[in-house]
Structure 1
Amino acid sequence: MSERRSLSSGTHLPGEKSYTAELDALADECQRIAELSAFAVRIGEDFRVRTADTSWTGDDSFGRQLRARYVKSTTAAHRTIEAVSAGVAGIGAGTRANLQEIRAARNTALDDIEALGTAYGT
């Protein structure tokens, strides 16, 4: 998906600020972040499945103590993975929202420029 509407760069008065964004690159990065987030979720699911079996701890008093510590530590690790996954997903959502805002601002500016051109016969 290529961004077709663009503003040409022009001269700016001293002290004015100009902001630019590579919208195609930003959209690509949004996709990469989404893929990373999905991958992090799969890591968490795989970790949970692979650490679920506690039969190896045995059923004597030592095994029960070991199992309790093991479950506590693997649960904490899984929660950490989930938190990281949620963080990556949040970054993706924020980046997508930023991209939408940039597109909207660009489109509004271009529409206003076109309207002024029409109004002044240019």
Structure 2
Amino acid sequence: MANPLYARMQATAQRLIAKYGQAGTVTRLSQPDPIEGGDPVETAYPAKLVPMTYQAREIDGTVILAGDVQLYISSVGLAITPLPGDMSSVNGKTYRIINSDPNLYDGITPVVHICQARIG
């Protein structure tokens, strides 16, 4: 059973991202059919998100590189959970998602997706 606290947290995150965020997309590249073959198919999902730079103390040069950004993506209305390898476009820039955390505190309600992304 979903905890109402996390539903309120999700609504708060959605409201803040809607107010301060931007329209963008999360694009997933689906694999071709293993039998029929063909080309991979790109599917773009509309999203509201906020790109934020990492602080200098968070950049370690191995996991988080200079130029990486955090993408706070609203989970409300997003048809997929962003995964490593997906692409995200915002502000005329395209980022490749490196790591993703859906913040599933109760295992059911994704509060907000926080992704580490790199210019791709």
| Alignment TM class, shorter chain as reference | under 0.3
What is the TM-score normalised by the length of structure 1?
0.23
Normalized against structure 2, the TM-score is what?
0.23
More relative contact order in 1 or in 2 (CA 8 Å, sep 6+)? 1
Structure with more helix by fraction: 1
Greater strand proportion? 2
Greater C-alpha radius of gyration: 1
